[in-house]
Amino acid sequence: MSILVLGGAGYIGSHTVDRLIEKGYDVAVIDNLITGHRLAVNSKARFYQGDVRDRNFLEQVFNAEKVDGVIHFAAFSIVPESMSDPLKYFDNNTGGMITLLEAMQAHHIKRIVFSSTAATYGEPKQIPIKETDPQVPTNPYGESKLAMEKIMKWADAAYGIKFIALRYFNVAGAKADGSIGEDHHPETHLIPIILQVAQGKRDKLKIFGDDYPTKDGTNVRDYVHVVDLADAHILAIQRLLDGGASDAFNLGSSTGFSNKEILEAARKATGQAIPAEMAPRRAGDPSTLIADSTKARKVLGWQPQYDDVEKIIATAWNWTNSHPKGYGDK
Ligand code: UFG
């Protein structure tokens, strides 16, 4: 089976490309390399540099490739940036989805898995969050992804394009051998920032807020290992290739860790002191986000291999140590 991966040079995309190839799929990758890294793409995948919004470019790729299914990661994902520049997010994320679906429809490609997010739920009414809970985003990033989910729904109704939306919670870690990992510019995520402090690249961690209604006052998040997440995409696209219906799944560990607990786990995983101080709340942070991932386990047969956050952090630390400058291309 041939899978086209858009955004396959990004953090989650590159791990998914790698797992697809390990599992024997034929893979082509599209990435504009704005945030992605050419070196992150498994050398057995065919690579096309271009933009999801460029219909002529997509035509060239669809003419050159025999595509059975699409996995779509190509999107911007920094929440604070989406607050200050929402149109950038609606243009690239939501607009890109429309162009992609037009090209798929023209080429009779009827299956797509795409990266949605816990940010589509907004401030949850109940924990853990279920797929059927209200989706009321509190930022343009989440809104752009919710719009993508809705566009997919109507594209299914009208053209029969089947989709699976995977709503990620907090993704972390790296391939166990340390050959690929997370390399964002700028870095805004908790675990890579903690590891930059451990490396001596930053003086200290600032923990944003300790007055939330949680066990220790800091935000609680649900961490899932990037390779487990990659495997969920493969189960999802295979389900669609086997004739499965359109659907949506939460992907998390169903366990919550506070920011202070993550810091402690990182101190253990790295053996470093990792200085930290409390700082004011960051705008738009929900207090607690924990997934109910029962549906992905039952319906997709998803069995995450990493159930220990310290082990997840250890894989990220392994990547950070072997690639102190990341991919070195930005
Ligand atoms: N945090 C700090 N200090 C930092 C960085 C982060 O205290 O220097 C805190 C944040 O305030 C938050 C927690 O660490 O409480 C996790 O923050 P991240 O930025 O790592 O992740 P988020 O939970 O904000 O967001 C992630 C993805 C989003 C997605 C969201 C959905 O980055 O794309 O999960 O759960 F929308």
Beta partners for residue 249, in sequence order: 166
pLDDT over 90 (residue 220): yes
Tokens 């939330």 belong to which residue?
A: 212
- Identify the bridge partners of residue 27 per DSSP, sorted by sequence position: 3
Tell how far the Cα of 321 is from the centroid of ligand 1, in angstroms.
22
- pLDDT for residue 330 is more than 90: no
Distance 65 CA to ligand 1 centre (A): 37
Report the nearest-CA residue for atom 7 of ligand 1.
207
Q: Cα–Cα distance between 136 and 11 in angstroms, integer?
A: 26
* Per-residue model confidence as pLDDT tens digits over 186-200: 999 999 999 999 999
Residue 55, Cβ neighbours under 10 Å: how many? 15
Beta-strand pair 257-258/220-221 = antiparallel
Dihedrals phi, psi of 133, to nearest 5 degrees: -70, 160
Q: Is the peptide bond before 186 cis (omega within 30 degrees of 0)?
A: yes
Quickly state the pLDDT bin for 212 (edges 50, 70, 90): very high
How far is residue 80's CA from residue 98's CA, in Å, rounded to a whole number? 24
Which tens digits make up the pLDDT trace of 25-69?
999 999 999 999 999 999 999 999 999 999 999 999 999 999 999
Please, which residues bridge with residue 168 across strands? 117, 251
* Percent share of the chain, pLDDT over 90: 97
User: Exactly one of 11, 25, 89, 141 is catalytic; which is it?
Assistant: 141
Q: Ligand 1, from 35, 171, 189, 254: best to mutate by most atoms within 8 Å of Cβ?
A: 189
Taking the centre of ligand 1 as the mean of its atom positions, its distance from the CA of residue 242, in whole angstroms, is 35
Q: What is the pTM of this model?
A: 0.97
**Residues within 6 Å of ligand 1 by CB:** 77, 79, 117-119, 169-170, 188-190, 193, 206-208, 219, 221, 259, 282, 285, 289
User: Tell me, what's the pLDDT at 327?
Assistant: 98
Ligand 1: which atom is nearest the Cα of residue 262?
14
pLDDT in the model for residue 284: 80
pLDDT score for 318:
98
Separation between Cα atoms, residue 237 and residue 234, nearest integer Å: 5
134-142 average pLDDT score: 95
- 8 CA to centre of own chain: 11
Strand order in the sheet with 26-31: 46-49, 26-31, 2-6, 69-72, 111-117, 162-168, 247-251
pLDDT of residue 251: 98
Average pLDDT of the chain, as a whole number:
97
Tens digit of each residue's pLDDT (9 = 90 or more) over 275-318: 999 999 998 888 999 999 999 999 999 999 998 999 999 999 99
159 tagged catalytic:
no
Instruction: Yes or no: say if 219 and 290 are a contact pair by the CB < 8 Å rule.
Output: no
Nearest CA to ligand 1 atom 35: 169
For ligand 1, mutation pick of 208, 210, 274 (most atoms within 8 Å of CB) = 208
Q: Which domains does the chain have, with CATH numbers?
A: 2-172+223-251 (3.40.50.720), 190-221+254-322 (3.90.25.10)
Instruction: Determine the average pLDDT of the residues in 153-174.
Output: 98
Q: Quick one: average pLDDT of 133-161?
A: 97
* Token representation of residue 154: 């109507």
Calculate how far, in angstroms, residue 190's C-alpha sits from the geometric centre of ligand 1.
6
